[in-house]
Homo-oligomer: A and B are copies of this chain.
Amino acid sequence: MARKITYQQAINEALDQEMARDPSVIVMGEDNAGGEGSPGEMDAWGGVLGVTKGLYHKHPGRVLDTPISESGFIGAAIGAACNGLRPVAELMFVDFMGVCFDQIFNQAAKFKYMFGGKAETPVVIRTMYGAGFRAAAQHSQCLYSLFTHIPGLKVAIPSNPYDAKGLLIQSIRDNDPVIFMEHKVLYTMEGDVPEESYSVPFGEAAVVREGDDVTIVALGRMVSFAQDAAQALQKNGIHCEIIDPRTTSPLDEDTILESVEKTGRLVVVDESNPRCSMASDIAGLVAQKAFGALKAPIEQVTAPHVPPPFSDALEDLYIPNAAKIESAVSKIREYG
């Protein structure tokens, strides 16, 4: 039965249900319970924003706090995945990937190939990303394009509570290493989420809105901005189709290409910095594989090529928004 719960609750529920279903699933990360060794309460935090709260008492011995040593414990999650567990390790903010990226991209991602197919590494790395918290340059990045670049990794980017639960369950059941990207601003987003367990398959985009005029491909938090923009554009008689890829690796190329075949126009919305981003990735894909259908330039709406600024005045300008999407759509709608 669907009820309204938050994105954060959906993630907690996915972890809870998978832990109940499969004893090999464990959860680890800095303060994922919280309070280890301390005189007060255990499960004091459940992660820095409380996402894993409660799992510690429900699944005794299976929620592990860690020292601050991301290479150490993310690597341990990977090693444990090679030895029969299905660890879900939390990299608190994706911005911290620089201290542990090797274990992810040279170890987990490459084992299967380097070992001639004879390895499986079913690890999930959950991580928070995105701007909007006034958390400045080292706590606000997206960085999923870095993971998407790496063969051997899968990357999931849920844009709503329903997908958050279903994609996380799929991530845990998946036999390849998965990077699971949680937008910190979306944690409070509410949506219909079935109580029962379900999974959202990888590589299947959601067509969030149908329309004939312009295709908007949007990722993560950008999906709701695209919806706002589409709503407004509708009033001007412009009908947008919105596609949420849900996973960037694998990427559902077909759904994107089919939509552009229909509309002939594409705007890609990606909160990342622009260079070598998912915005350019999808633009490049369409410029290659749906060129014949294109009637206008492919617009990319992204953050600028600058680090995320601290001040709200600047951060609000930094993040793509509905107005920028609208103007990109209008621009190519009027083209030619």
Contacts and interface: CB of A to CB of B under 8 A. Distances in A.
Interface of A: 71, 95-106, 109-110, 113-114, 136-138, 143, 145-146, 148-152, 248-249, 251, 272-273, 275-289, 291-292, 294, 296-300, 304-307, 309-310, 336
Contacts of A249: 275
A156 to B, nearest CB: 15
Contacts of A145: 145, 149, 276
A284 B279 contact: yes
Contact of A288 (B146, B149, B251, B298): B298
A95 B146 CA distance: 14
Contacts of A104: 98
B297 A289 contact: yes
A287 to B, nearest CB: 4
B110 A101 contact: no
A175 B281 CA distance: 30
Given A151-B306, A307-B113, A280 B291 contact: no
A150 B298 contact: no
Contact of A99 (B71, B136, B277, B306): B71
Q: Which of A102, A109, A151, A287: most chain B Cβ within 10 A? A: A287
Contacts of A113: 137, 306-307, 309
A299 B289 CA distance: 9
B297 A287 contact: yes
Given A98-B104, A280-B276, A146 B148 contact: no
